[in-house]
A and B are shown apart, each in its own frame.
Chain A
Amino acid sequence: MPAPIEELREQIVGLLPRLRRFARAIARNPHDADDLVQIAIERALARSGQLRPDSRLSSWMFGIVRNAWIDEARSRGRRERIFAPAELGENIGDPAHETQSDMLAVQEAMARLPEEQRIAVGLVLVEGVSYKEAAEIMNVPIGTVTSRLARAREALQAMLADTTGALR
C-alpha cells in the first residue's frame, strides 16, 4: 500500500535539496532549475497514485524532473537556443559569482552538452545514481547510458581543460 499523502509530502520536502542539485545540473540557470523543481513537485503530487510501493521515491522524482525538463526544453525550443549563450555570459562578470568560478566553469561546460548527455551526467556523476537506476529513470538500455556518459565525459574533459588553461 502506498504511503499516505502527508507522509509522501514530507518525503518530498526531504528530497528537495537533492532535487534542486539535480535540476541545477540540467537546467541553464538557478532560476530555471527551481522552476523545474516546482513543476516536478506539482506533477509528482498530481500523479502520486502512480508511485509504486516498491519503487524508490528519489528515482521516481528524478524521472519526473527529467521528463519535465525535456518537455520544457521542447516547448521553449528555438528561443532558448538563441539566448542561452548570452545568459551564461552575463553571469561571468558578476562579482557574486567570481568566488564560484569553478562551479560556473562546470555549469557552462554542462550547458553545452546535448540534453540527454547532461541528464546522464546529472544522474550518475552528480547524484551518484547507479547505471542501472539511471537507465530506468531515462527509460533507455544501460548501454545507452554508458555511451552517453562516455561521450559527455570526453566533451566535459576537453572543455574544462580549455577553461582552466584559459584562466591560468
Chain B
Amino acid sequence: MKFSDETLMAYADDELDPPTRAAVEAAMAADPELARRVARHKELRNQLRSAFDKVLDEPVPDRLIATARTAPADRRADNVIPLRRKSAPRWSWPQLGSIAASLVVGAILGQLLLRASITGPIIARDGQLLASGALAHALSNQLASDQAQQAPVRLGVSFRSKSGEYCRTFLLREPSALAGVACRGREQWRVQVLAQSGQAAADGGQYRPAGSALPRLVLQAVDEQIAGEPLDASGEAAARSRDWRH
C-alpha cells in the first residue's frame, strides 16, 4: 500500500484512526524506507519540542505576571449582566464588586431578625422574608440614578424578572452590611436573596479588580431571574411612577 507523506506525518503525530494506523504499521514492518520516513517525522517533532521546552524552565518575567493580575478586564467576565446598555444606573456592578459577600446562613439571618425592631428592614411573615421600614421605603421610592451618598439603603440594578415582576438589588448599611435582591409582589417587596457583605460602603465607585468578587449569590440570582436588560434611569423612573406594578 502507498501512503502519502501527510499520512505518515499524521501517524508520527498520533492523529490516525486505528485502522489506518494499523495499516501504516504493517507497511512500515515490510518497508524500511517507509519506517525511515516516519522516524524522520518523529525526530523533527522531538527536535522542535526539546528546543522550545527550555522556555518552560525560564522564570516568567514579572511584567507578564503583573499584566495577567492587573490588566483591565471585561467586566462581563465577572459574571452575569452584560454591561452593554447605554445608560447604566449609577450604582453599578463594579461598585457592588467592592463588597466581599457570602451567603447568609441561618445564624446570620437569625441575628438580623432578632436585632431588627418592628421597624427593622426585613421581617419574616408566612414563610417569606419581606422588606420593611427603611428598606421597603427605599425600594419603592429611591432611584438608583438619584440617591444620596450616605443613604442607609443603596439601590443597585432594577430589572423585570422572568415572571414579570419588578426586582431591585439593594445594599443595606444598617444594622449590618447586607446585599440582596427584592421583588415587588402584590403588596410587598419580597426579599429573594440576601448575602452578607464584608464591607459596608462602596469604595467611591472605583473598579477594583483585585479581591473584589461580587456577591456571587446576588449576581447569580439576578442572572437567573432577569428578563432582558436592566432598566435604565428612565425605565426605573417609569416603573416607580406605576408603583412597581406590571
The answer to whether A binds B is yes
Which A residues have a C-beta under 8 Å from some C-beta of B?
Answer: 1-6, 8-9, 12-13, 16-18, 20-21, 24-25, 34, 37-38, 41-42, 45-51, 100, 102-103, 106-107, 110, 121, 124-126, 128, 130-131, 146-147, 149-150, 153-154, 156-157, 160
Contact B9 A46 (CB under 8 A): no
Q: In the complex, what distance in Å separates the CA atom of A128 from the CA atom of B45?
A: 9
Binds A, one of B69-77, B129-137, B238-246: B69-77
B79 surroundings in chain A (CB, below 8 A): 1-2, 4
Contact B64 A37 (CB under 8 A): yes
Q: A24-B55, A131-B10 are in contact. Are A16 and B78 (CB under 8 A)?
A: no
The 6 tightest CB contacts between A and B, nearest first, are A49-B76, A48-B77, A106-B51, A49-B74, A21-B55, A103-B51
12 contacts between A and B (CB under 8 A): A1-B223, A13-B65, A16-B60, A34-B61, A38-B67, A41-B64, A46-B73, A48-B74, A103-B52, A110-B48, A125-B45, A130-B15
- Residue of B6, B58, B65, B71 near A42 (CB, 8 A) is B71
Nearest-CB residue, chain B, relative to A106:
B51
Contact A4 B78 (CB under 8 A): yes
Q: In the complex, what distance in Å separates the CA atom of A117 from the CA atom of B228?
A: 45
- Residue of B44, B211, B216 near A153 (CB, 8 A) is B44
Asked if B229 is at the interface of the complex by the 8 Å CB criterion, the answer is no
Q: A147-B6, A157-B40 are in contact. Are A20 and B55 (CB under 8 A)?
A: yes
In the assembled complex, the CB of B98 is this many whole angstroms from the nearest CB of chain A, namely: 13
A2 surroundings in chain B (CB, below 8 A): 77, 79
In the assembled complex, the CB of A161 is this many whole angstroms from the nearest CB of chain B, namely: 9
Asked if B5 is at the interface of the complex by the 8 Å CB criterion, the answer is yes
Contact B69 A131 (CB under 8 A): no
Contact A150 B55 (CB under 8 A): no
Asked if B90 is at the interface of the complex by the 8 Å CB criterion, the answer is no
B75 surroundings in chain A (CB, below 8 A): 49
Q: A4-B213, A21-B52 are in contact. Are A156 and B44 (CB under 8 A)?
A: yes
Contact B213 A6 (CB under 8 A): yes
The CB with the most chain B CB atoms within 10 A, among A20, A25, A131, is that of: A20
In the assembled complex, the CB of B96 is this many whole angstroms from the nearest CB of chain A, namely: 13
In the assembled complex, the CB of A77 is this many whole angstroms from the nearest CB of chain B, namely: 26
Q: In the complex, what distance in Å separates the CA atom of A146 from the CA atom of B9?
A: 9
Q: In the complex, what distance in Å separates the CA atom of A34 from the CA atom of B137?
A: 55
The CB with the most chain B CB atoms within 10 A, among A16, A21, A125, is that of: A125
